[in-house]
């Protein structure tokens, strides 16, 4: 992790680091499929109009154009004004919404999907923020309506998935946009989206500057600004937030609906994922398409990294005529997580290559027989390489050691087989038809340090 990248913001892992990333991806994939989520992949490119129709992040979107037009002239920069111009997707939710609309006739609703892909954002690179990175999303989308119970289920699935990763303790911080918007309306602030965007900056700029934003940009009075900050200051590990909100003395139907929904999520999480979830009424989420439950997740002790998993309920992102496709989902920042795991040495792979055995050569003429041995081992799931040259055995052993391969296989001229554990020096007779290394050596294992 000390390497200097030739192009910042586009991470490239060493083989042993990639094994850690693959472990994270495989763990997430396995957990999602255990809960019945189907895998899909959408194209990397969308139209600018599609990408920017909900939430303004145009400064971060990478436009896509050819270096030359059909007539050979330099490509034109029309992406900023032409909604039909192409751009790389900045998240997976907007492409997924488009995918649902286009394939609605072929999907069974509620549709449960997971999606693990690269996304691109034109951000200033730093740890936890890359320009090209991998996200792992899960969503449930309904046709016409989507029971609120899926909001609860999504949070529990993510808690289970994160709990299986080699990471420190984490905390899902959950709020509800209906609760917040109903409260702001109840105190007389009509631009609720604007208030949410200001509250979303609370951890970055602090309460005093947020209050100033509310007064200067949204026309809030001092009392209104302080009431909004009091709401954002409520944080509980249980459902006691309900009493604290009601104690603020604001009455609004949307507020009550949001309180009820958030209470259900927190009550279920306290029971099934104790210690992993808090009600945090400062969570707003900047994108405009969220309409109910909103979630951000932090690593305890690594709060400066920012959210490693976020998302929520969206009721109006996908539609086709009068047909609505409400959904709820969460997105894990895989690259952000892996970057922290590697930079802080939180976990490591048991070896740097998948290979468990190197088949040594007695002579160049023994290469064919060595391939037969390798094929027998591979047929039983043992990752095996064959030496390329019949060098002295000491050199072949050093090659295996340099590669991180634990075992070297020898076959003498009489066809007798032996395998050597080069870590301990132990060597014994073996048969390629039935020899198997110990489970901890059969495959690469990623363990917490």
In sequence order, which residues have a C-beta less than 8 Å from that of residue 360 and are 6 or more positions away? 370, 387, 393, 396, 397, 408, 409, 410, 411
Q: How many CB atoms lie within 10 A of CB 349?
A: 21
Task: Give, in order, the Cα–Cα distances in Å from 353 to each of 6, 28, 403.
Answer: 24, 21, 7
215 labelled ligand-binding: no
Place of tokens 């609309």: 101
d(CA 82, CA 94): 18
Neighbour count for residue 69 (Cβ, 10 Å): 11
**Residue holding tokens 């009424």?**
281
Token digits of residue 249? 């003395």
- The answer to the question of whether 121 is labelled as a binding residue is yes
Cβ neighbours for 271, distance < 8 A, ≥ 6 positions apart: none
Parallel, antiparallel, or unpaired for β 111-120 and 235-236?
unpaired
422 C-beta neighbours (distance < 10 Å), count = 16
Q: Known binder of ligand: residue 113?
A: no
106 in a known ligand binding site: no
Separation of alpha carbons 260 and 249, rounded Å: 16
Question: 3-state SS of 127-170?
Answer: CCECCEEEEEEEEEECCCCCCCHHHHHHHHHHHHHHHCCCCCCE
Does 93 show up as a binding residue in the annotation? yes
- Report the relative pairing of strands 327-333 and 357-359 from DSSP bridges: unpaired
Take residue 183 and report the two structure tokens written for it. 């409260």
139 a known binding residue?
Answer: yes
Distance CA 300, CA 166 (A): 13
Is 314 marked as binding a ligand? no
What is the Cα–Cα distance from 239 to 225, expressed in whole angstroms? 25
Residue 226 CB coordination number (10 Å): 15
Helical residues (DSSP H) of 47-206, grouped into ranges: 48-51, 93-102, 149-163, 177-186, 192-199, 202-205
CA 204 from chain centre, in angstroms, equals 22
Residue numbers belonging to the annotated binding site for L-histidine: 91-93, 121, 135, 139, 285, 289-290
Residue numbers belonging to the annotated binding site: 91-93, 121, 135, 139, 285, 289-290
């Amino acid at each position: 992790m000390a390497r200097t990248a030739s192009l910042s913001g586009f991470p490239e892992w060493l083989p042993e680091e990639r094994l850690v990333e693959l472990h994270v991806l495989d763990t997430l994939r396995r957990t999602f499929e255990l809960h019945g989520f189907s895998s899909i992949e959408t194209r990397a490119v969308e139209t600018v109009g599609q990408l920017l129709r909900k939430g303004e992040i145009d400064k971060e979107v990478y436009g896509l154009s050819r270096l030359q037009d059909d007539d050979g002239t330099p490509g034109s920069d029309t992406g900023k004004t032409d909604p039909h111009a192409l751009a790389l997707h900045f998240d997976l939710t907007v492409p997924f919404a488009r995918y649902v609309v286009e394939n609605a006739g072929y999907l069974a609703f509620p549709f449960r999907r997971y999606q693990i892909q690269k996304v691109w954002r034109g951000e200033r690179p730093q740890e936890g923020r890359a320009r090209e990175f991998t996200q792992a999303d899960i969503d449930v989308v309904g046709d016409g309506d989507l029971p609120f119970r899926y909001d609860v289920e999504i949070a529990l699935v993510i808690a289970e998935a994160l709990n299986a990763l080699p990471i420190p303790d984490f905390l899902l911080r959950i709020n509800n946009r209906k609760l917040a918007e109903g409260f702001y309306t109840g105190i007389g602030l009509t631009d609720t989206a604007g208030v949410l965007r200001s509250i979303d900056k609370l951890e970055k700029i602090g309460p005093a500057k947020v209050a100033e934003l509310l007064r200067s940009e949204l026309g809030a009075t001092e009392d209104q600004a302080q009431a909004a900050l009091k709401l954002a200051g409520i944080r509980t590990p249980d459902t006691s937030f309900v009493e604290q909100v009601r104690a603020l003395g604001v009455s609004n139907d949307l507020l009550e609906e949001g309180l009820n929904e958030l209470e259900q999520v927190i009550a279920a999480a306290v029971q099934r994922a104790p210690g992993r979830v808090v009600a945090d009424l400062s969570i707003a989420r900047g994108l405009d398409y969220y309409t109910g439950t909103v979630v951000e997740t932090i690593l305890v002790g690594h709060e400066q990294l920012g959210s490693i998993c976020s998302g929520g309920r969206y009721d109006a992102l996908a539609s086709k005529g009068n047909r609505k496709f409400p959904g709820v989902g969460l997105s894990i920042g895989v690259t952000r997580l892996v970057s922290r795991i590697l930079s802080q040495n939180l976990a490591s792979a048991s070896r740097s290559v998948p290979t468990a055995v190197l088949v040594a050569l007695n002579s160049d003429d023994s290469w064919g027989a060595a391939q037969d041995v390798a094929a027998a081992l591979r047929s039983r799931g043992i990752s095996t390489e064959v030496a390329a040259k019949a060098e002295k055995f000491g050199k072949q052993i050093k090659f295996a050691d340099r590669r991180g391969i634990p075992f070297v296989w020898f076959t003498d001229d009489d066809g007798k087989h032996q395998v050597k554990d080069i870590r301990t020096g132990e060597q014994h007779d073996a048969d390629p038809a039935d020899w198997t290394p110990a489970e901890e050596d059969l495959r690469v294992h990623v363990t917490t340090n």
